[in-house]
Amino acid sequence: MDGFPILSLMMAVPMAGAIACLFAGANAARWIALGATLIDLALGAMLWGGFDQAANAPQWQFQEYAPIFGRFAWALGIDGIALMLIVLTVFLMPICIGASWVAIEKRVGEYMAAFLFMEVLMIGVFAAQDLYLFYVMFEAGLIPMYLIIGIWGGADRIYASYKFFLYTLLGSVLMLIAMMWMVNEAGTTSIPTLMAYDFAPQAQTWLFLAFFASFAVKMPMWPVHTWLPDAHVQAPTAGSVILAGVLLKMGGYGFIRFSLPMFPDASAELAWLVWGLSMVAVVYTSLVALVQSDMKKLIAYSSVAHMAIVTVGLFAFNQAGLEGAMMVMLGHGLVSGALFLCVGVIYDRLHTREIDRYGGLAINMPKYAVLFLLFTMAAVGLPGTSNFVGEFLALMGIYQASSWVALVCTTGIILGAAYMLYLYRRVVYGEQRNADAAAMPDLSAREIALLAPIAAAVLWMGVYPESFLAPMRADIQALEARLAPAAPAGDGKLVMGAGQKSADHSTHAASGEAH
């Protein structure tokens, strides 16, 4: 498959679908969208299958390069990290389309077009190998998301759409200035080159902060997370799925692709900032989630807490932490997406997200109760589910860097169990207090078809995470080697941790990365 532009094709298919949807009737648009996303899913599977995971494989694969934009180029290419996130994207997209099948009744063509355009941009973000191309894709996502929230959202959608748009825009424009500075300094827009470029430590601090402004908002980290609950609550179900499942991962991807390898010194120097914000986020947003009466808001706050685990994992500067962060991102993408779908299922029936309006659903909706339980347990981080692997690795990683941070962040797991189980008890167990909730029918075949693949993936990731870790391992080792000189010494070991760690992994890393 050498030279075949599969990444461009993966972007072209949904783009063509989006244009077709604009001119199609409601039902035709649904089928076009489903078809396009399924083709992309197949292409994604081919991508995964064709990705060379051998020890001596090149770091960047499926590269394409066409300098057609003057100052920047249509440069695509993926490593294992990007591959996994692209696979996550194409996996969730058909599910999103299916979730909107009956819930969206007005302006279906435009809705499907917005979603397909979103898919194009998300694949573009993860596959871009040109700094400016990345920015264009990263920023363009605002347009479809703004429209999705604003047109098809809930009652307070307009406020939420403004907040989402302006928050994230303000965050990213400063990053653009930093990018311009970097390109002027290094003389190239190629991301792989920039990842190996050593910027002066003084400059790194400023660049790091500018990128941080963007990624922290996108992630989102406390205290700039407030757009997320609003956007989530107001967005339609599929919008929430894609927001939590993939858009938030752009922040984490940004850290792992830009902040850490490009500014290793500043990352180490400012790790305390990230740790501090993450610790606050884990505890604070978990407590906030406990008192929510709106189901979507609760899951939105839990997303903030989970993303904080990702950031501490990333800024642990060791392989366990980085792998854990990636696994939390993938796991959370699946689990939070599934939880939003679960909320969507009952919202479609009763048109309320108030937890108190439900109760005792296990009696009339047993299938729903089973699947919801599985995803609740996955969100809690039960062993055997996807999130356990990621959270365990991330916390293990941060323990090597700072045992205090690990201590505080681990309480997040306990609090997470508290708010998720509390939610589950109120919605599914107990008495059937409300007659209309008690009369709701169980999952339809369509809904099972949406949730079952996610359930399978969650279990697969929990039982055999190696399938997901293997493609990323070499890239994470390379990143760790890049970070090693700057990584702060950990307090979790009696002997110097850095020396031992590099002895473990540098042998693999040295072969893949030359600098």
Partner 1 sequence: MIEVASLLAVLPELVLTVAGLALLITGAFAGDGSARVVNWLSVLALAIAGLTLSTSLANGPDAFDGLYRADAFSAFAKALIYGAAAAAILIAPRYFNVGGRARPEYPVLILFSSVGMGMMVSAGDLLTLYVGLEMQSLAAYVLASFMRQDERSSEAGLKYFVLGSLASGILLYGTALLYGFTGSTSFDGIALAMADGVGKGELFGMVFLLAGLAFKMSAVPFHMWTPDVYEGAPTPVTAFFGSAPKVAAMALTVRIAIEALGPAGLDWQQIVIFVALASIIFGGVAAIGQSNIKRLMAYSSINNVGFALIGLAVGTPAGVAATMSYLAIYVVMTIGAFACMLQMRDEQGRPIETIASLAGLSQSRKGLAAAFAIFMFSMAGIPPLFGFWAKFLVFDAAVAAGMTSLAAVGIAASVIGAFYYLKIIKTIYFDEPAAAYEAQGGAVENVILTACAVVIVFGYLLNPALDYASAAAAASLF
Binding site for partner 1 (CB under 8 A): 68-71, 107, 110, 132, 135-137, 139-140, 142-143, 146-147, 150-151, 157-158, 161-162, 165-166, 169-170, 173-174, 176-177, 180-181, 184
**In sequence order, what are the residues at sequence separation of 6 or more whose Cβ sits closer than 8 angstroms to the Cβ of residue 507?**
none
Q: Could you tell me which of 466, 419, 427 has the C-alpha nearest to residue 299?
A: 419
Q: Which residue has the tokens 């609760």?
A: 298
Number of H helices, E strands in the chain: 25, 2
**Is the CB of 180 or the CB of 452 nearer to partner 1?**
180
Q: Considering the complex, what minimum distance in angstroms separates the CB of residue 184 from partner 1?
A: 5
Q: Considering the complex, what minimum distance in angstroms separates the CB of residue 68 from partner 1?
A: 6
Q: Considering the complex, what minimum distance in angstroms separates the CB of residue 212 from partner 1?
A: 14
Q: Which residue has the tokens 């910027």?
A: 199
Distance CA 116, CA 72 (A): 25
Distance CA 37, CA 293 (A): 34
**Is the CB of 178 or the CB of 395 nearer to partner 1?**
178
**Is the CB of 184 or the CB of 202 nearer to partner 1?**
184
**Is the CB of 137 or the CB of 277 nearer to partner 1?**
137
Contact yes or no for 181/263 (Cβ under 8 A)? no
**Is the CB of 143 or the CB of 418 nearer to partner 1?**
143
Chain mean position to CA 361: 30
3-state SS, one letter per residue, for 375-427: HHHHHHCCCCCHHHHHHHHHHHHHHHHCHHHHHHHHHHHHHHHHHHHHHHHHH
Q: Considering the complex, what minimum distance in angstroms separates the CB of residue 110 from partner 1?
A: 8
Residue 121 backbone dihedrals phi, psi, to 5 degrees? -70, -35
Distance CA 407, CA 33 (A): 46
Collapsed DSSP state (helix, strand, coil) of residue 128: strand
Distance CA 178, CA 175 (A): 5
Q: Could you tell me which of 266, 298, 499, 316 has the C-alpha nearest to residue 415?
A: 298
**Is the CB of 175 or the CB of 437 nearer to partner 1?**
175
Q: Considering the complex, what minimum distance in angstroms separates the CB of residue 64 from partner 1?
A: 16
Q: Which helix (H) or strand (E) holds 62?
A: strand 61-69
Q: Considering the complex, what minimum distance in angstroms separates the CB of residue 314 from partner 1?
A: 26
> Which one-letter DSSP state was computed for residue 440?
-
Q: Considering the complex, what minimum distance in angstroms separates the CB of residue 181 from partner 1?
A: 5
Contact yes or no for 166/233 (Cβ under 8 A)? no
Contact yes or no for 374/335 (Cβ under 8 A)? no
> Which one-letter DSSP state was computed for residue 53?
-
**Is the CB of 162 or the CB of 460 nearer to partner 1?**
162
**Is the CB of 110 or the CB of 475 nearer to partner 1?**
110
Q: Considering the complex, what minimum distance in angstroms separates the CB of residue 7 from partner 1?
A: 17
Distance CA 462, CA 391 (A): 11
**Is the CB of 180 or the CB of 470 nearer to partner 1?**
180
> Which one-letter DSSP state was computed for residue 246?
I
**Is the CB of 15 or the CB of 382 nearer to partner 1?**
15
Collapsed DSSP state (helix, strand, coil) of residue 309: helix
Q: Considering the complex, what minimum distance in angstroms separates the CB of residue 295 from partner 1?
A: 24
Q: Considering the complex, what minimum distance in angstroms separates the CB of residue 161 from partner 1?
A: 7
**In sequence order, what are the residues at sequence separation of 6 or more whose Cβ sits closer than 8 angstroms to the Cβ of residue 286?**
301, 302, 305, 411, 412, 415, 416, 418, 419
Q: Considering the complex, what minimum distance in angstroms separates the CB of residue 169 from partner 1?
A: 5
Q: Considering the complex, what minimum distance in angstroms separates the CB of residue 120 from partner 1?
A: 10
**Is the CB of 101 or the CB of 162 nearer to partner 1?**
162
Q: Which residue has the tokens 């400023």?
A: 206
Q: Which helix (H) or strand (E) holds 78?
A: strand 72-78
Extract the tokens encoding 130: 């040109």
Q: Considering the complex, what minimum distance in angstroms separates the CB of residue 12 from partner 1?
A: 15
**Is the CB of 148 or the CB of 338 nearer to partner 1?**
148
The residues pairing with 65 across neighbouring beta strands, listed in sequence order, are 75
Give Rg (Cα) of the chain: 22
**Is the CB of 146 or the CB of 284 nearer to partner 1?**
146
